[in-house]
Structure 1
Amino acid sequence: MSSTRRTATTAGVFFLVAAAASIPALGLFQPVLGDAEYVLGAGSDGRVLLGALLEIVTVVAVVGTGVALYPVVRRENHTAALGYALGRLMEGALIALGLVAVLAVVSLRQDAGGSDDGALVVVQEALVAVKDWTFLLGPNVALGVNTLLLAGLMYRSGLVSRWIAVLGLVGGPLILASGIAVLLGAYEQVSVVGTLAALPVFAWEMSLAVHLVVRGFRPTAALGAPPVRPAAPVG
Structure 2
Amino acid sequence: MNRTMPAIAVENLHKRYRSKIAVDDVSLRVEQGHVLGILGANGAGKTTTVELMAGLRKPDRGTVSVLGLDPRRDRAKIRQVLGVQLQDAYLHQALTAAELVELYRSFYPNPRSADETLDLVELSEHRDTMFEKLSGGQKQRLSVALALVGRPRVVILDELTTGLDPRARRRMWSAIEKLRIEGVTLVLVSHAMDEVNRLCDSLVLLDKGRIIAQGTPAEVTAQAQAADLEEAFVALTGRSLQDEEDL
- Same fold (TM > 0.5): no
TM-score bin (small chain):
under 0.3
Q: TM-score, normalised by structure 2?
A: 0.25
Q: Which structure dedicates a bigger proportion of its chain to strand?
A: 2
Q: TM-score, normalised by structure 1?
A: 0.25
Q: Which structure dedicates a bigger proportion of its chain to helix?
A: 1
Bigger relative contact order, structure 1 or 2 (CA pairs below 8 A, ≥6 apart): 2
Larger Rg: 1
